[in-house]
């Protein structure tokens, strides 16, 4: 039996399911994906119109349940080339309509089969418009969903943990160093939950050594890198004292470029602080102004935390929706970072120039050291 036919039969046999939020709000739906009576996690919504496979496999969603605002998910199936990590780390998926039969020449597997293969539970048929409006008012919060009785799901939602104060990076980081890319420069990549698209962009200009999140600064410097890259990742940056201390020991000694959680870790290492946003930024359509030129970039974003008050660093980018700091630079420390995702997996390509900025910074630093 073909995979699309299997998916269609599964859709015809769906069981009733419920999504219950920690504040008691209840949404009806049908069970999909991996079959579990109760699944829990911190519920957030993502506004991307496409790129659902990249979203589901983004390690930054560890500990979270992703609700897609776009009504039809699964239209073009899945394929191995679009995976951003070795497996999904999210706790579940919420959709309005899960397409059973994909239509795309690149598709090798329907989304539901993909979710089942990796043990990711889902709920379909949910009124995601009402859900999104509620989360925008009440904020991201723990939830529970599945086929268990509503009172059992309600109890599970009330005790489910949020991401506050949690080190989720340890769940997604590599356990051993590995190499990628073949570019002429040498870059050490801190894996806080790095995405494949990031490694492809960096690997075009540098030979990469990807190291675990807990790698001390002296071990990084012993490799003689031209630069250090701080990746995206999940959870609360305040729960990462070890990586923050390592980055604090690296700034000023080697060029540093951070993205998303890497931006937050760099800001904290420079003496800044972080805070949790009400419902975060998750989508591919966030307008960000580059202050040096006034140009507005449409960006891909996925984060629940933001930075503020970074001493000695200039703000380079600002979110036009809510004023959140989206980029910083410390010229004395040879370091810069952005809150959004210039690798755009998925998303627009407006900000990919930042990889070239990193290359130029490393080249300038290498020339200075040789001189």
In the set 134, 201, 303, 341, the catalytic residue is 341
For 107, the token pair is 């598709």
Which residue has tokens 């000694």?
253
Distance from C-alpha of 118 to C-alpha of 320, rounded to nearest angstrom: 37
72 given a catalytic annotation: no
- The phi, psi pair for 294, rounded to 5°, reads 80, -5
54 given a catalytic annotation: no
In the set 42, 260, 286, 297, the catalytic residue is 260
Distance from C-alpha of 136 to C-alpha of 114, rounded to nearest angstrom: 29
260 given a catalytic annotation: yes
Bridge-based pairing state of the strands 206-212 and 185-191: parallel
Q: Residue 279: helix, strand or coil by DSSP?
A: strand
In the set 30, 42, 297, 343, the catalytic residue is 343
Please state whether 198 falls in left (phi above 0), alpha (psi between -120 and 50) or beta: alpha
Distance from C-alpha of 279 to C-alpha of 34, rounded to nearest angstrom: 26
Does residue 346 have a cis peptide bond before it, meaning omega lies within 30 degrees of 0?
yes
Q: Annotated catalytic sites, by residue?
A: 260, 341, 343
């Amino acid at each position: 039996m073909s995979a699309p036919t299997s998916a269609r039969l599964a859709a015809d046999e769906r069981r009733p399911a419920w999504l219950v939020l920690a504040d008691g709000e209840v949404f009806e739906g049908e069970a999909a994906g991996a079959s579990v009576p109760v699944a829990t996690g911190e519920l957030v919504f993502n506004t991307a119109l496409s790129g659902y496979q990249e979203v589901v496999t983004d390690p930054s969603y560890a500990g979270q349940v992703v609700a897609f605002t776009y009504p039809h998910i699964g239209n073009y199936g899945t394929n191995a080339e679009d995976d951003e990590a070795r497996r999904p780390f999210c706790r579940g998926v919420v959709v309005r309509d899960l397409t059973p039969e994909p239509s795309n020449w690149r598709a090798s597997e329907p989304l539901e089969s993909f979710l089942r293969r990796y043990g990711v539970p889902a709920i379909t048929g949910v009124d995601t418009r009402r859900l999104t409006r509620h989360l925008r008012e009440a904020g991201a919060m723990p939830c529970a969903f599945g086929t268990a009785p509503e009172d059992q799901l309600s109890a599970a939602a009330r005790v489910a943990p949020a991401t506050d104060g949690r080190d989720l990076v340890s769940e997604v980081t590599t356990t051993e160093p590995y190499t990628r890319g073949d570019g002429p420069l040498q870059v050490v990549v801190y894996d806080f939950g790095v995405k494949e698209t990031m490694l492809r962009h960096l690997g075009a200009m540098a030979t990469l050594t990807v190291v675990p999140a807990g790698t001390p600064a002296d071990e990084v410097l012993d490799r003689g890198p031209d630069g250090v890259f701080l990746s995206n990742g999940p959870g609360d940056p305040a729960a990462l004292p070890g990586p923050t201390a390592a980055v604090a020991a690296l700034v000023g000694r080697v060029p540093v470029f951070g993205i998303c959680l890497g931006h937050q870790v760099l800001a904290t290492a420079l003496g800044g602080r972080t805070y949790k946003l009400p419902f975060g930024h998750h989508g591919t359509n966030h307008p960000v102004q580059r202050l040096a030129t006034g140009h507005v970039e449409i960006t891909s974003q996925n984060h629940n935390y933001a930075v503020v008050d970074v001493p000695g660093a200039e703000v380079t980018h600002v979110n036009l929706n809510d004023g959140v700091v989206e980029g910083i630079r410390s010229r004395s420390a040879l370091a810069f970072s952005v809150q959004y995702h210039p690798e755009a997996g998925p998303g627009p390509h407006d900000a990919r120039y930042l990889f070239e900025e990193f290359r130029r910074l490393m080249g300038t630093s290498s020339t200075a050291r040789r001189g």
